[in-house]
Amino acid sequence: MPDSLRNFDGSPLILSLQVASVATLLALVVGIALGWLFARRRFPGSTVLEAACMLPLVLPPTVIGYGILVLAGRRSTLGSWLREHFDYTIIFSWHGAVVASAVVALPLVLKSASAAFAGVDRTLEAAACTLRQSPWSVFMRVTLPLAWRGILAGTLLAFARAMGEFGASLMVAGSIPHQTQTLSMAIYDAVQAGQDDAALLLVLVTSVISIAVLVASSRFLSLR
Amino acid sequence: MFFTRLLGTVLVAMLPLLVTAQQLTVSAAASLNNVFTELAPKFEVGKPGVTLRFNFGPSGVLLQQVAQGAPVDLIASADQATVTRGIEQKLLDADSKRDFARNTVVLVVPVQGAPDVKTLADLASPRVKRIAIGKAATVPAGRYAKEALDSARLWSVLEPKFVFADNVRQVLDYVARGEVDAGFIYRTDAALGAGKVKIVLTTQGHTPVSYPVVVVSESRNKALARDFIAFLATPPALDVLAKYGFGKP
């Protein structure tokens, strides 16, 4: 154990936090927008679209990874356009891991945001409208403050899910040390290579962080 | 009534488990996937009641699984080092070991839109952005490539460009999809990807690629396992190996 402690490489931990934070932020913005849309607007195909947005929750991560490869890989329309004009690709970069994690985390934000918005009293919004507030201002000053608790709960779950992302990220971003090797991939590599000490240490680190996030979230949510 | 029927159905469903006389589990290097799958019926024909079961993966991981008690009868590895390590750890029966095939490591590039690569040194060019290679700790093809690059003094230069793959077939897939600009695989894998990848050169300066097969010490089917090892040296087996491009041991 002392040996693996001395050789402990913090980069997977930092990368995991970085990827999970950015992915959660992305999922939060998209999830709030879509959650509001599904809670407040009915349009042709809205139920099907909502179901499609929830798919990452039930599909195997390998399907998500494959989907991203097909849609954004070098041979895809989007991928080759990005490569030609900006010399950029999300494949084998940490941005790829962010996209994969955001996709799998999105349903958790979306569902809780949609439920939270549905629970907001419409008469309060109507009252705000009579006070000459613009729709955006009503949303920011009335709807969102009333729904934030539910959204936050979903966001913390999304962060936890993004921290644990493995399958889709491995397919899209690979496991490149110091570039795309997150905690879960470092654990996988260590186990495969028979470095049980290193794996155990990483497992402990991951567990401590996850428990901290969960404890923080329950404390935060019980605040009134 | 319902439960009696349910119980009956379950029992009928379990019958095949009882009828199958013997199952031989072979853990084999990822590069042996197609060839072993084709060999299986040829072996089973001569052994009524025997079913072959394959577990393909990177050789290093296969040994790791055996170390953790996986119920495996045989290991066919893509390198000698892994088997030697297994024998030292008393996981494999040293006297059963036999080399059954040879291979070579090649550098491949995608057929479409590959940067101009003629030599190993060309990989250092800024036009080559990503190179796929097996994880040296577990994938023999990755270790052979590392040895070759080490002896060409290119490893540390190229290191920032490497994408490490879980097994050699994943390297082939990355190159075939064009997600990387080059990759190190076996000649036999390159043949399977013909049309999508093209061979640039055969690597030099590494341990020869020789495939040993060996019985696992904990195996309960040792006699049958030795039969499979003997079968790999018979003309029908050698023909199939040659068809996929493997060399004679």
Q: Would you list which residues of chain B are within 8 Å, Cβ to Cβ, of chain A?
A: 58, 60-61, 64, 67, 130, 135, 137-138, 162-166, 177-180
Strands B131-134 and B162-165: parallel
The tokens of B129 are what? 């952005």
In a domain, B248, yes or no: no
Whole-number Å distance between alpha carbons of B163 and B195: 23
Q: CB–CB of B164 and A91 under 8 A?
A: no
CATH no. for residue B87? 3.40.190.10
pLDDT reported for residue B6: 63
User: Do residues B152 and B205 touch, judged by C-beta distance below 8 A?
Assistant: yes
**A5 falls in which pLDDT band (50, 70, 90)?**
low
Q: Are residues B52 and B96 in the same domain?
A: yes
Q: CB–CB of B162 and A74 under 8 A?
A: no
Mean pLDDT across the stretch B201-210? Answer: 94
In a domain, B249, yes or no: no
Q: Are residues B187 and B120 in the same domain?
A: yes
Chain B: nearest CA to A88, how far in angstroms? 11
Q: Are residues B6 and B72 in the same domain?
A: yes
Chain B: nearest CA to A64, how far in angstroms? 17
- Each residue of B5-19: b (16+ CB within 10 Å) or e? eeeeeeeeeeeeeee
Whole-number Å distance between alpha carbons of A213 and A199: 21
The tokens of B17 are what? 């488990």
Chain B: nearest CA to A190, how far in angstroms? 10
Question: Which of B64, B164, B169, B196 to substitute to test the interface with A, most A CBs within 10 Å?
Answer: B164
Q: CB–CB of B64 and A193 under 8 A?
A: yes
pLDDT tens across B43-89, in order?
A: 999 888 999 999 998 999 999 899 888 899 999 999 999 999 999 99
In a domain, B194, yes or no: yes
| Partners of residue B177 in chain A, C-beta under 8 Å | 69, 73-75
CATH no. for residue A197? 1.10.3720.10
Q: Are residues B111 and B82 in the same domain?
A: no
Which residues of chain B form beta strands (DSSP E)? 22-29, 50-57, 74-76, 98-103, 105-110, 131-134, 162-165, 182-186, 197-202, 209-215
Number of domains in chain A: 1
Whole-number Å distance between alpha carbons of A175 and A189: 8
Q: CB–CB of A193 and B137 under 8 A?
A: yes
Label residue B78 exposed, middle or buried (CB < 10 Å: 0-12, 13-18, 19+).
buried
Residue A169's alpha-carbon distances to A50, A93, A224, B137, B215, in angstroms, are 24, 10, 37, 21, 37
Q: pTM of the prediction?
A: 0.79
Of all residues in chain A, the one with the smallest CA distance to B127 is A87
Of all residues in chain A, the one with the smallest CA distance to B136 is A193
Which of A73, A75, A192 has its CB closest to that of B138? A192
**B16 falls in which pLDDT band (50, 70, 90)?**
low
| Partners of residue A69 in chain B, C-beta under 8 Å | 177, 179
In a domain, B189, yes or no: yes
Q: Are residues B174 and B235 in the same domain?
A: no
- Three-state secondary structure along chain A? CHHHHHCCCCHHHHHHHHHHHHHHHHHHHHHHHHHHHHHHCCCCCHHHHHHHHHHHHHCCHHHHHHHHHHHHCCCCHHHHHHHHHHCCCCCCCHHHHHHHHHHHHHHHHHHHHHHHHHCCCHHHHHHHHHCCCCHHHHHHHHHHHHHHHHHHHHHHHHHHHHHCCCHHHHHHHCCCCCCCCCHHHHHHHHHHCCCHHHHHHHHHHHHHHHHHHHHHHHHHHHCC
Which domain, by its residues, includes A138? 2-222
* Chain centre to alpha carbon of residue B131: 20
Q: CB–CB of B179 and A192 under 8 A?
A: no
Q: A135-139, B17-21, B88-92: lowest mean pLDDT where?
A: B17-21
Whole-number Å distance between alpha carbons of A67 and B247: 38
Q: CB–CB of B67 and A194 under 8 A?
A: yes
pLDDT reported for residue A3: 60
Q: CB–CB of B163 and A189 under 8 A?
A: no
Chain A: nearest CA to B164, how far in angstroms? 6
The tokens of B121 are what? 């040194």
| Partners of residue A199 in chain B, C-beta under 8 Å | none
Q: What is the mean pLDDT of chain B?
A: 90
**A132 falls in which pLDDT band (50, 70, 90)?**
confident
Which domain, by its residues, includes B163? 105-202
Number of domains in chain B: 2
Which of B137, B162, B166 has its CB closest to that of A176? B162
Question: Which of B177, B196, B197 to substitute to test the interface with A, most A CBs within 10 Å?
Answer: B177
| Partners of residue A75 in chain B, C-beta under 8 Å | 177-178
Share of chain A above pLDDT 70, in %: 95
